[in-house]
Structure 1
Amino acid sequence: MKIALFPGSFDPVTKAHVDIVERSLGLFDKLYIGIGANSSKQGLLSMAKREELLRAVFNHEPKIEIVTYEGLTVNFCRSINAAWMIRGIRTVSDFEYEKAIAQMNHALAPDIESIFIVSKPGYSSISSTIVRDILRYNGDVSKFIPAAALDHL
């Protein structure tokens, strides 16, 4: 069975995340979407709220399981038997950042492969960080958030 993890903070989930998930599904038998507790990011939504949003968006897809985790992502991959880690790339700076993480992960866990999926051009400007700022100031995020998640914000 081919199992992958798409890790992230998903604070909040965006249309760009959904695009990466949908494009990944055909590659794997099971795809975990892992909401990681990230100590270096200031979160807006609780872990429970992020999980609720992701479930609302992906509840129709039997190959997807939404989970939360703490600690090293490669250790979590091992705990769920995921041999692949999916990462979305929007920009050159994303690539540099993700490349460094992938190389460190490979040093820690050479049996887990990182797969980069480049975002579609229309999604390259959407980031959870920017969407969080719009939410903080009561702006309209409907262009950036999947419709199924909007009802839960």
Structure 2
Amino acid sequence: MMTSEHKQRVAVYPGSFDPVTYGHLDIIRRSAKQFDHLIVAVLNNTSKNPLFTLEERKEILTEVTADLPNVSIDGFRDLLVRFMKSRNADVIIRGIRSVTDFEYELQMASTNHHLDNEIDTIFMMTNPKYSYLSSSIVKEIAKFQGSVHELVPPEVEQRLLAKYSTPPGE
């Protein structure tokens, strides 16, 4: 029996999303069905040099998830577990494409659990048709004017074209 005291189930899907791909969107859409509120948390990693700024990545994600009312977009540069506490979230969503991903993600999940044992990580297998897909691959293809329309939403494709409008080597 549900009471009015029902605690909202809040999950966080963290990542750099530079840029967001159809693989990311698949995980976002499937996760949104499982939780009352899904926060897509864009990492502002100061040790990386992203193609898109934090604001651009948040803008793009807001556009491509506009049809999902229980999804919100946020940015962070703190420990993930600290960010989660500040948003009353207790589940981390991570997409898994391969065994290599699993090994890395298991290490991260164990570390996060060590830092805060009230936080769980759920691994979601990516749709097999996106198992090869990564933001790095998308950027590499776009950089050399290859077609990315089957890999990313139109909003991302347009922004990639704008970023790479100067031919390589010029």
Which residue pairs with 1:72 in the alignment?
A: 79
Aligned to 1:42: 49
State the structure with more CA Rg: 2
SS of equivalent residue, structure 2 residue 139: helix
Aligned equivalents of 1:101 and 1:40: distance in 2? 18
SS at match of 1:34: strand
Are 1:109 and 2:116 counterparts? Answer: yes
Cα offset, 1:40, TM superposition = 4.1
SS of the residue corresponding to residue 93 of structure 2 reads strand
Give the Cα separation in 2 of the matches to 1:14 and 1:51. 13
Give the match for residue 137 of structure 2. 130
One-letter amino acid of the structure 2 residue matched with residue 14 of structure 1: T
**TM-score normalised by L of structure 1:** 0.94
Q: Does 2:93 correspond to 1:86?
A: yes
- Check whether the contact 1:53–1:152 (CA below 8 A) recurs between aligned residues: no
Q: Partners in 1 of 2:70 and 2:133 — Cα distance?
A: 25
CA distance in 2, matches of 1:48, 1:144: 22
Count of residue pairs brought into register by the alignment: 153
1:29 aligned to 29, 36, 39, which one? 36
Instruction: Structure 1: state its 5+ residue gaps.
Output: none
CA distance in structure 2 between the partners assigned to 1:89 and 1:122 by the alignment: 13
Does structure 2 conserve the Cα–Cα contact (< 8 Å) formed by 1:52 and 1:152?
A: no
Q: In the TM superposition, what whole-angstrom CA distance separates every residue of 1:50-74 from its partner, at most 9, and x where no partner exists?
A: 1111111011211010011111111
The share of aligned pairs that are identical, in percent, is 41
Q: Give TM-score scaled by structure 2 length.
A: 0.85
| Larger RCO (CA under 8 A, 6+ residues apart) | 1
What are the Cα deviations for residues 2-37 of structure 1, in whole angstroms up to 9, with x where unaligned? Answer: 000000000000000000011111210000000011
| 3-state SS, counterpart of residue 40 of structure 2 | strand
> Deviation digits for residues 63-109 of structure 1, max 9, x if unmatched?
01001111111110111011100000001100000000000000001
Partner of residue 69 from structure 2, selected from 62, 72, 85? 62
- Distance, in Å, in 1 between the alignment partners of 2:70 and 2:159 is 23
* Shift, 1:139, TM fit: 2.3
